Amino acid sequence: MARILLLLAIGFVIYLVFRGFFRSQVGDAKPSEPKDVEDMVACSICGVNMPRSESKEEGGKVTCRDPSACRHAK
């Protein structure tokens, strides 16, 4: 009988942990959502895919923000 109560207690603790984990996940997901859905763009010079925030646009062409990294990839 004591074992059953212990198992129930453990199950309840696991339930509380998962519920807390899920709540923290939901709370964290909202502020970071814009990053997750960020556009991926391809460099017009070396063809490397990167998030738009790491790219540079010049005259309508998307390129790597770091020109040295761009040439290296080529």
Minimum separation from the CB atom of position 41 to Zn ion (A): 10
Q: How far apart are CA 47 and CA 44, in angstroms?
A: 6
For residues 16 and 40, which CB has a smaller minimum distance to Zn ion in the complex? 40
For residues 20 and 67, which CB has a smaller minimum distance to Zn ion in the complex? 67
Instruction: Specify the amino acid at residue 58.
Output: E
Minimum separation from the CB atom of position 54 to Zn ion (A): 10
For every residue of 5-28, which 3-state class applies, written as one string?
HHHHHHHHHHHHHHHHHHHHHHHH
For residues 19 and 61, which CB has a smaller minimum distance to Zn ion in the complex? 61
Interface residues with Zn ion (CB under 5 A)?
A: 43, 45-46, 64, 70
Minimum separation from the CB atom of position 51 to Zn ion (A): 13
DSSP state string for 29-41: HHHHHHHHTPPEE
